[in-house]
Amino acid sequence: MAITTVSCQKDSDPKPGPPVQPAALGKAQVWLTRGDQSSLLAQQSDISISALKDTPTITLDTTVQLQEMEGFGAALTGSSAYLINKKMSASQRSSLLKTLFSETDGIGVSYLRMTIGASDFSLSDYTYDDMPVGQTDYPLDNFSIDKDKEDVVPVLKQILGVQSAVSIMGSPWSPPAWMKTNGSLKGGKLKTDAYDSYAQYFVKYIQAFKNEGITIDAVTPQNEPLYSTASYPCMDMPASDQLNFIKNSLGPAFQSAGVDTKIIAYDHNWDVTDYAISIVNDAGAAQFVAGSAFHAYAGNVSAMSLVHNANPNKGLYFTEISGGGWATDFSDNLQWQMANIFIGTTKNWSKNALLWNLALDENSGPTNNGCANCRGVVTINSTSGTVTKNVEYYAIGHFSKFVRPGAHRVSSTAFDSGTQLDNVAFLNTNGSKVLVVSNSGSSQQTFIVKLGERQFSYTIPGKAVVSIVW
């Protein structure tokens, strides 16, 4: 078996490991983040792969391939796009986008979520077809994405210039007010006579962005459909309504327009599983649905496995969680993100893992009546344009930089629960293997990894995360 060493280091800046010992059959590269921030996604000395000697702590089997990964990242909200586009110089912006999206010069973010119209992180309330009170536009004659051309479109184009392999998911916070029972962007439901018009609204959105050179890979019919009392755009969309909308309007509209964008159901918290299950198990709706999406503001990550087990043929997606001023300890946040979001969701069948705002300013904004102390993946100073990388940046990076789109999660046994070690493993399309291990305990621990007739060991510090690539 040939051992391939995959390098993410620039040729001009080699960091060679120790001399190869005679017993070594190959090398694995190591990237470490420690809770005390003394190491931040920093490359360590290579470790040797040797013939089996000891009882392995965990066993990998790359022949057992599980879900295909689509990417890791965050949301390019209106607020994030505005800061990147308007509060940074051209050189600052170029540097940041490389830091976020380049595999070699940054963390290789490979999946973005965007809001279809306004959200709680936009500069104002808007949709793509707003009408004066009392007027309607069922033919969508006034449909326009001009508002998004101010910041979102130009930033997306620059991102795709750095990383063409980024997948984009669109999620609406509200349809146009005239489509809703209460005539407002806040609250209400989708009027039954607007179902078909709203389906065409999605088609026009996908086509309008395609005309800008931006492919929308997936949509969800409604962000957080069970939360409709917010002071920002939102809508109540019970499971029966969403099922009906997908089965009778949205799915057929995509089909007749030749749109191959995925439709992903639910897009809300882990604490409710019957919503997603009712849609993916309905034959009429399921023919149009690629899977279901989840947020982490309530419930447990194991909910995703419950939904997977109900219909293993449908994909699972993790689409939103935010860090913020309520939790500022880097080490605690790093371990929570691993346990719940990155190792947690992928072990529970998620094909992606997305955080909320890609960037916010030093005042946790701009906000649109939403969370007042949320934290972006990076913080952009609105005066100087300087960038601070937050814990979320390193958490994403341990996956996005090494686990590329098209990779499959592969079988890896669990560590004994008493070790406080957790792991997940992947096989990339180029044959490279990635193992991410977290140590939530305070003491360093040595572990052994067995793959076929070979093994390696590594000693991970306490409160640390390591990505091992070979």
Annotated catalytic sites, by residue? 224, 320
Q: Does 22 sit behind a cis peptide bond, omega within 30 degrees of 0 on the bond before it?
A: no
- Neighbouring residues of 140: CB distance < 8 A, sequence distance ≥ 6: 129, 197, 200, 201, 204
- Which of 154, 145, 114 lies closest to 127 in space, CA to CA? 145
Percent helix, strand and coil across the chain, each rounded to 5?
Answer: 25, 30, 45
Measure CA 265 to chain center: 16
- Neighbouring residues of 441: CB distance < 8 A, sequence distance ≥ 6: 419, 420, 421, 462, 463
- Neighbouring residues of 256: CB distance < 8 A, sequence distance ≥ 6: none
Would you give the DSSP letter of residue 242? Answer: H
Measure CA 55 to chain center: 36
Show the CA angle centred on residue 86, arms to residues 80 and 88, nearest 5°.
90
- Which of 30, 127, 34 lies closest to 463 in space, CA to CA? 34
Classified as helix, coil or strand, 36 is: coil
3-state secondary structure 163-188: CCCCEEEEEECCCCHHHECCCCCCCC
Show the CA angle centred on residue 318, arms to residues 299 and 330, nearest 5°.
75
- State the Cα–Cα distance between residues 7 and 469, nearest whole angstrom: 9
Beta strand spans in 205-351 (E): 218-219, 262-269, 289-295, 315-320, 323-324
- Report residue 44 as tokens: 């360590």
Q: At residue 339, what are phi and psi to the nearest 5 degrees?
A: -60, -40
Q: Which amino acid is at 445?
A: Q
- State the Cα–Cα distance between residues 252 and 395, nearest whole angstrom: 39
Kind of pairing between the strands at 352-357 and 71-75: parallel
Report yes or no: 321 and 269 within 8 Å, Cβ to Cβ. no
